[in-house]
A = this chain, B = another copy of it.
Amino acid sequence: MTTRIPIVENILSANDRMAARNRDLLDQAGVYSINIMASPGAGKTSLILKTLEALNGRLKLGVIEGDLATSIDAEKAAAAGLPAVQINTGGDCHLDAAMLADALPTLPLEDIDLVLVENVGNLICPANFQIGTHLNVLVASIPEGDDKPYKYPGMYRGVQVLIINKIDLLPYVPFNMDYFKRGVEILNPGVVTFAVSSKTGEGMDEWADWLVERVKNNGG
């Protein structure tokens, strides 16, 4: 008598299964989505508001804001006229797929082309949790310093787009762009990169144009 040994080809974690379900929901609704990650205060919310301006009506946006506490960011997005949801994680240092699964149905997905998910401010934990979005975006910030790729390799390795924000502060802080970019290149060769200022608007058009193309190529 032989014993049959079951072969399990692909065991997904509970989080990854939920992330796949989120992706299915988004794809069925024809909605593209990005997961925006950064340190606290790198300018994620300001970037979202400036992106809205630069898109100038070319895409219909929805926003999901993740924070430990408060609804400050969702209120800012709502004040700008965007459908917005706030997720408060309590103590959790990142969003997970289950949180996104709770938030997505509260947005009017049929009227949305692109959902911008703002993750909890943290360069470590969010990199370890796929949530089901189509694209991972990291917002780096000039005053954070040029050594962050070296110190937070997991985050810099796991994104498809890098936005270098607050370039208006370059004259006032020590920041060696060559050293920074060398670190990025080691971890994530050829990653799509934009240099912007959410304050002055510099570089926002290039980013917004790229985003429109990306969403349209996705069939949105």
Q: Taking beta carbons and an 8 Å cutoff, which residues of A are in contact with B?
A: 39-41, 67-70, 72, 91, 93, 120-125, 128, 141, 143-145, 147-148, 150-154, 166, 168-169, 172-174, 199
> A39-B39, A39-B144, A143-B169 provided; 19 other pairs, C-beta below 8 A?
A39-B41, A40-B148, A41-B141, A41-B144, A68-B124, A68-B153, A69-B151, A69-B152, A69-B153, A70-B151, A72-B147, A72-B151, A91-B128, A121-B123, A121-B152, A122-B122, A124-B125, A141-B143, A169-B172
* Residue numbers in B under 8 Å from A39 (CB-CB): 39-41, 121, 144
Measured CA separation A173–B141 after assembly (Å) = 13
Measured CA separation A174–B168 after assembly (Å) = 13
Cross-interface CB contact of A41 among B122, B143, B199, cutoff 8 Å: B143
* Residue numbers in B under 8 Å from A144 (CB-CB): 39-41
Closest B residue to A169 using CB positions: B172
Measured CA separation A72–B173 after assembly (Å) = 19
Greatest chain B CB density within 10 A among A124, A141, A152, A172 is at A124
A65 to chain B, nearest CB (A): 10
